[in-house]
Amino acid sequence: MSDENQYDDQEFMRATINEVFADVSTPIDAKDYDNAYIKVGSVKFYNGVSDKGRVWKRVSMYFVIDDQEQREKTNIENPGAGYGFFLDLTEDGKSLETGPNRNTDLGALRKALKQEAAPWSFEQLDGAGPVRIRVAHEVNDQNPEKKRAVVRSVTKQ
């Protein structure tokens, strides 16, 4: 990184802000959207160990919609909603379980994206689409004014 791109943290800390920030964001409308794509670089994994000592893994991603009305409403260039689910892992936690009632959310996502063929990897999700998403609002338990848009289902369009 060149010196001209660096900034001084202390200077940033001392900067005076004369504007009031909003404390509630405006989510996209809760409805169905066609032509949604998974935002490039948004696929992330979260890992942990349960109280019973079993390894868990969750995958999340962000679906972007192309909707001018929602861009104007949210003041976001690429509005969308988050989507995620837990993965069923083998006992050692190193690979995905297969079979009936295992990784059905992942199976439905791959089907919607027309990525059912093997071999397959999670890298194929990056930028994938188009699909139809159904968006709902989750309300914050502590503050009912705070809502966020979440994807409830993903299907072929």
pLDDT at 7: 77
Say how far apart CA 74 and CA 80 lie, in whole Å. 10
What six digits make up the tokens of 116?
């059912």
Say what the alpha-carbon torsion angle 31, 37, 41, 42 is, to the nearest 10 degrees.
20
What six digits make up the tokens of 89?
């892992």
| pLDDT average per 10 residues of sequence, the chain (157 residues) | 69 93 93 98 96 94 97 96 97 93 98 96 98 97 93 96
Q: What is the pTM for the complete model shown?
A: 0.86
- Tell me which residue range forms the domain holding 115: 3-155
Cα 5 → chain centroid:
30
Reading phi first (left if > 0) and then psi (alpha if -120 to 50, else beta), residue 129 is in left
pLDDT at 3: 55
pLDDT at 1: 45
pLDDT at 24: 87
Question: What's the total number of domains in the chain?
Answer: 1
Closest CA to 105 of 123, 90, 125, 85: 85
Say how far apart CA 120 and CA 98 lie, in whole Å. 13
CB-based contact 82:133 (threshold 8 Å): no
